[in-house]
A and B are shown apart, each in its own frame.
Chain A
Amino acid sequence: MGRETAKAQQGTAYTVEQLVAFNRYNPDILPDLENYVNDQVSSQTYSLESNLCLLRLYQFEPEKMSSQIVARILVKALMAMPAPDFSLCLFLIPERVQMEEQFKTLIVLSHYLETGRFRQFWDEAAKSRHIVEAVPGFEQAIQDYAIHVLSLTYQRIPRTVLAEAINIEGLALDKFLEHQVANSGWVIEKSQGRGQLIVLPRDEYNDPILKKNTADSVPFEHIAHILNNLS
């Protein structure tokens, strides 16, 4: 059953999600879940629930564990940042497995991302191309995460800081910025003598005024309760 459902085109994701929902604790679905990891990698999709289910099955039957699959799951989890998926996966992987080289590297990469050290991250990732290039969309996902954190933090950010965080320079960066200006509301300013400043869109995270307005909302249930008691 496993191979056929995995090869089925449209139905794959739906079938596997159903498998996980209704057969959560069934060791027989292990091959399907492994195939699904490979599908997620090649089709650039992602399912935390299904991957945790697989890690759980590995935990129950460690002799069936595939290091390669686990590494792929971890890379996909990194790509899901800022969600804490990477930690969730580590909780289920035995310590002695985490001591293997490739996992130590992934943990270091995660550490750099968790602590905003993007320069060190890109340096280390460059040294581990074989791990990260195996998963398409990796670079883009990390860049998205970098922009997410920068947007929480900065109203206006120097070009050099942005460049370092997303690992794009020169002409490629110019093109990237053009795209963001056109589609994401970014604005480019000229700062006195120090290069460009990128103005990021305001939201409740980097603009205090927007935050205040959301504080005093009254839940509908409270009003409904009052209305019940009015004559």
Chain B
Amino acid sequence: MADHDEQRLQPQDLGYDPNFVPDSVKSFVVHLYRQIREKNVYEIHQLYEASFQTLSERHFKDTPWPSVDAVAQYVDNDHVFCLLYREMWFRHLYARLTPTLRQRIDSWDNYCSLFQVVLHGVVNMQLPNQWLWDMVDEFVYQFQSFCQYRAKMKNKTEQEIALLRQFDQAWNVFGVLNFLQALVEKSAIIQILEQEKEGLEQFTANDGYDYNGGSNVLKVLGYFSMVGLLRVHCLLGDYDTGLKCLQPIDISQPGVFNIVIGCHITTIYHYGFANLMLRRYVEAIREFNKILLYIFKTKVYHQKSPQYEQILKKNEQMYALLAICLSLCPQSKLVDETVNSQLREKYGEKMSRMQRYDDEAFAMYDELFSYACPKFITPSAPSFEEPLVNYNQDAYRLQLKLFLYEAKQQQLLSGLRTFLKVYSTISLAKLASYMEVDEPTLRTILLTYKHKTHAVDSAGKVISNADVNFFIDDDTIHVVESKPPKRYGDYFIRQVALLQGVINELDTIKLE
């Protein structure tokens, strides 16, 4: 999903005729329509992903696809198919051109109609997960894009302002959230996932598909909407609620969310980011590490896919976020070797600068955060009073400011860590003199260290993140070396499994 703001050539300039339907496109919609009616998910997926891309490249590089009115005649004027076609039509438009305000509003109307059809439970199709994910993902993306667009009031034309006033419901934040929430609730997906844990449902095992003659559309849209809600809440700066929306999905287990790579990455990216802002650095590091390793191993398989560019972009952003997390919360054992070496290569130098906590360090934090953060939005309606201003940066500036504020509060901790690594015991007086502060100040630094390295998780439990720890006995600091735990349990389990393997082999040998 490229989000370019520069003015591209308008379709009319390139001789675009919305009513002209090339034969290949006619053939495409006819086939797609038939496959959907016959519920051939595999064929639908091929047409949707491969053919649509090929035709776009060949015929519609800089122009929209033919209008829905022009193709409707080839598909029995089927209402639902037309809604699906339009959804793809707008998605293509957003990717290749800059939508006008009118087009943005029309796209919103299309989503309303499409979701309402699905919510009324009258849909009987089975659609590929990729398509269903793309719908939710694009819906949230267009919302984000609209908010960014709307926040730039300065150069709006009279017509644009009139349209904005008239269609104030289009991409209204309440509407967006309520649609996503309605999909979650109407699909009963949360209950389905609960029941699955007790073996009463087969949702994940069937990749979300319905093998009882029904439709997967509502259920899977409901599932993906949970990720959609996480994303919207992150865009609004409400990280706690975002994580709550994702809670029914257990990301430590395989699930429908990691079948579609775009969904997998979006989920973990936002999950990790939200945890970072909640100061749960260890949790963020763990998840970023897992997904970065996964991308490293599997990206070669996605080179031809239309999502490849996005995958690479998110990959880079997550390395930046990982660099931030590790600078604020050094951990030695959580990052895989492969990921670590990539991290050193990309951000090794910046990380060592960040841990110096001087002005340059904060410039680095600023740079990485700004590069990697979501495109925060201001959800409220604009002010139409003169003078018209651009406020599209406000939301981002606030989140950045608060993040840097937090980083600044940890300013002296890096220096403290260095000393703690060197001494096993040291008096407060001596350490104060080495750090060039007075004793009361040192006490506050030590308290800050303890507070910042002991995060409170969602259940209210205190968890220590500290790689180096200490306690104070009256006026002496005792440093606690954290030795890596000897994993006797793991060792024994491995040996048991090996021995069982040997026994199984022996059992198969017949003695003469």
A interface residues, Cβ below 8 angstroms from B:
24-27, 48-49, 52-53, 56, 59-62, 82-84, 87-88, 90-92, 94-95, 111, 114-117, 119, 149-150, 152-158, 161, 191, 197, 204-208, 211-212, 215-218, 222-223, 226, 229-231
Contact = CB atoms under 8 A, between A and B. Distances in A.
B332 to A, nearest CB: 15
Nearest to B244: A49
Contact of B398 (A91, A222, A229): A91
B351 to A, nearest CB: 23
A231 B504 contact: yes
Nearest to A95: B398
Contacts of A95: 394, 397-398, 401
Given A91-B239, A208-B471, A60 B173 contact: yes
Judged by DSSP, the binding face of B is: helix
Contacts of A161: 443
12 contacts: A24-B181, A56-B241, A91-B399, A91-B402, A92-B236, A150-B447, A153-B447, A155-B472, A222-B493, A226-B493, A229-B500, A231-B507
Contact of B446 (A26, A116, A158): A116
B471 A216 contact: no
B487 to A, nearest CB: 6
Given A24-B241, A216-B485, A230-B496, 5 more contacts: A48-B240, A53-B241, A156-B473, A197-B474, A205-B462
A155 B240 CA distance: 34
Contacts of B454: 82, 152, 205
B489 A216 contact: yes
A213 B472 CA distance: 21
Contacts of B509: none
B462 A229 contact: no
Contacts of A114: 409, 448, 451-452
Interface in B427-449: 440, 443-448
A222 B489 contact: yes
B460 interface: yes
B178 interface: yes
Contact of A82 (B236, B462, B475, B486): B462
A117 B237 CA distance: 28
Interface residues of B, number: 62
A157 B448 CA distance: 16
A97 B393 CA distance: 16
A60 B177 CA distance: 11
Contacts of B503: 231
Contact of B380 (A24, A59, A152): A59
Contact of A153 (B380, B440, B446): B446
B497 interface: yes
Nearest to A197: B474
B464 interface: yes
Contact of B471 (A92, A94, A111, A154): A154
Contacts of A204: 464
B93 interface: no
A59 B379 contact: yes
Interface string B475-508: 1001010010111111001001100100110010
Contacts of B177: 24-25
B471 A207 contact: yes
A84 B409 CA distance: 14
A218 B239 CA distance: 31
A206 B464 CA distance: 11
A205 B454 CA distance: 9
A167 B451 CA distance: 19
A111 B409 contact: yes
Nearest to A207: B471
6 A-B pairs closest in CB distance: A116-B447, A218-B489, A215-B485, A91-B237, A208-B480, A25-B177
B474 A156 contact: yes
A56 to B, nearest CB: 6
B471 A153 contact: yes
B489 A217 contact: yes
A158 B277 contact: no
Contacts of B397: 95
B389 to A, nearest CB: 12
B168 interface: no
A223 B440 CA distance: 50
Contact of A115 (B173, B409, B489): B409
Given A25-B174, A211-B480, A216-B488, A84 B279 contact: yes
A65 to B, nearest CB: 10
Given A91-B239, A208-B469, A226-B496, A152 B398 contact: no
B278 interface: yes
A157 B394 contact: no
B238 interface: yes
B326 interface: no
B94 to A, nearest CB: 24
Contacts of B240: 48-49, 52, 88
A116 B471 contact: no
A161 B241 CA distance: 38
A206 B469 CA distance: 9
A61 B380 contact: yes
Given A91-B277, A153-B472, A231-B504, A116 B443 contact: yes
Given A60-B379, A95-B401, A157-B472, A216 B493 contact: no
